[in-house]
Amino acid sequence: MPDNKKHGSSNRTITFFVCFLAALAGLLFGLDIGVIAGALPFIAHEFQISAHQQEWVVSTMMFGAAVGAVGSGWLSFRLGRKYSLMTGSVLFVVGSLASAFAPNVEVLFISRVLLGLAVGIASYTAPLYLSEIAPERIRGSMISMYQLMITIGILGAYLSDTAFSYTGAWRWMLGIITLPAILLLIGVFFLPDSPRWFAARRRFHDAERVLLRLRDSSAEAKRELEEIRESLKVKQTGWALFRENHNFRRAVFLGVLLQVMQQFTGMNVIMYYAPKIFELAGYSNTTEQMWGTVIVGLTNVLATFIAIGLVDRWGRKPTLILGFIVMASGMGILGTMMHTGIASPAAQYFAVAMLLMFIIGFAMSAGPLIWVLCSEIQPLKGRDFGITCSTATNWIANMIVGATFLTMLNTLGNAWTFWVYAGLNLIFIILTLALVPETKHVSLERIERNLMKGRPLREIGANL
Ligand code: BGC
């Protein structure tokens, strides 16, 4: 069918464009996580706020994100993925402007909550949209691409923070994010809604129309519509299933645990407080701290490629274990150095090397892999509910980490703060060995069957 072929290449372009725009949501997620690190010292100075209030400048966003993640299951069903993403984009624009113009710290808190809602909606809806719209063969790499966009967003924020730091212009640091947010709003406006959502609302004509635009041939589009119709026969019964079914509760528990593990590695302590950590490592001037932070962001982007290469070859479990070992070592050695004192330039370099080692450990493992695993382990019937629980946990745990770091430094001292995180990473090695399944090259149906048969969690990826 020559006509179909021509159709094919233009459809691929549309698919790419669609995925690219949805991934822009990941970029904004990253920008908003990253921006606060560089802005915080200047905000603290201008508003003369305590360590505790600084923690809340960081964490109010995570609070909003947890609420946004819980609400967006409902939102993305009622409004559709497209209009949910648009709601998220509008909140991004409003939150960025409000935080840039905040006259006092209270308004800043409120605008950070708004931004959080936006990030929560984006972090739930964008991967969902990507997985529903991307052709089957590239679905897996889409999730890693999303994580990559998050890390690029964080790096972008660090770079812009650094550029503005020379004049201390924190309002510009926060305000500049309005531009990509507007870009996302315009982009999403032109996106089609997800064919799966149309079908779930029994709008099969619309579903078919979108699939015809996105797939290589009309035969492929028809086949996919049939598959969607089939899978919709499985009704989502999240809460009821959770109450009745012990095996489903185990999957939800695993998703929640995985996200707690990801956050309590301590990664976001570095993401939010990097300049502060450089200060603890003996770099007293702002320029050094800011450029150090940029190097952290760059390392995070580059090491994510290691995960993309390893995840389908080595598998999830060994990669995660290696990551936790690297992270425990990095945090442990940093703590010890803080204990003995970082005096010479050589010791300072070494401390930075340990910090970067930790980042590599996270980016090559827990960063992307936890998201991958969380999307693989839930049975179809309870998928929306299970993923809502794990995504909300990501943000709640994230908030706890962000809201306690400075207090930990003040009460436990620098060394013990890092040792606590090193200890947690050691515990995660044991938990991974005991509870995390290997899901490499295993179909989602197989995982579901094993789970529902009551096999131990660590064996639900077994092919036998
Ligand atoms: C985590 C974020 C973290 C980011 C760092 C993500 O997977 O969920 O909390 O800031 O990775 O790259």
Q: CA 201 to CA 63: how far, in whole Å?
A: 31
* Residues 428/261, Cβ–Cβ less than 8 Å: yes
pLDDT of residue 435: 97
Q: Looking at the CA of residue 394, tell me the nearest atom of ligand 1.
A: 8
Report the 10 Å Cβ neighbour count for 402: 27
Q: Looking at the CA of residue 368, tell me the nearest atom of ligand 1.
A: 7
Q: CA 63 to CA 85: how far, in whole Å?
A: 19
pLDDT of residue 405: 93
> Does residue 274 have its Cβ closer than 6 Å to ligand 1?
no
Q: Looking at the CA of residue 147, tell me the nearest atom of ligand 1.
A: 7
Token pair belonging to 436 = 């995390």
Q: CA 150 to CA 26: how far, in whole Å?
A: 5
Q: Whose CA is nearest to atom 1 of ligand 1?
A: 367
> Does residue 307 have its Cβ closer than 6 Å to ligand 1?
no
Q: What is the pTM of this model?
A: 0.86
Radius of gyration of the chain (CA): 22
Question: Which residues are within 8 A (CB) of 135 and not within 5 positions of it... i.e. 6 or more apart?
Answer: 15, 214, 215
Tens-place pLDDT, residues 44-63: 999 999 999 999 999 999 99
Q: Which amino acid is at 162?
A: T
Q: CA 358 to CA 136: how far, in whole Å?
A: 34
Q: Whose CA is nearest to atom 6 of ligand 1?
A: 367
Tens-place pLDDT, residues 370-422: 988 998 898 878 888 898 899 999 999 999 999 899 999 999 999 999 999 99
Q: CA 270 to CA 338: how far, in whole Å?
A: 15
Q: CA 200 to CA 310: how far, in whole Å?
A: 35
Write out the H or E segment, with its range, that includes residue 202: none
> Does residue 401 have its Cβ closer than 6 Å to ligand 1?
no
Mean pLDDT of 243-247: 93
Q: CA 157 to CA 253: how far, in whole Å?
A: 34
> Does residue 150 have its Cβ closer than 6 Å to ligand 1?
yes
CA 327 / ligand 1 centre spacing (Å): 14
CA 367 / ligand 1 centre spacing (Å): 6
CA 218 / ligand 1 centre spacing (Å): 39
* Residues 268/33, Cβ–Cβ less than 8 Å: yes
CA 405 / ligand 1 centre spacing (Å): 17
Report how many helices (DSSP H) and strands (DSSP E) the chain contains, helices first: 20, 0
Q: Looking at the CA of residue 367, tell me the nearest atom of ligand 1.
A: 7
* Half-sphere exposure in the Cβ direction for 333 (13 Å, CA): 17
Tens-place pLDDT, residues 88-146: 999 999 999 999 999 999 999 999 999 999 999 988 888 778 777 776 666 556 777 78
DSSP string, 396-414: HHHHHHHHHHHHHHHHH-H
Residue with tokens 């009622």: 78
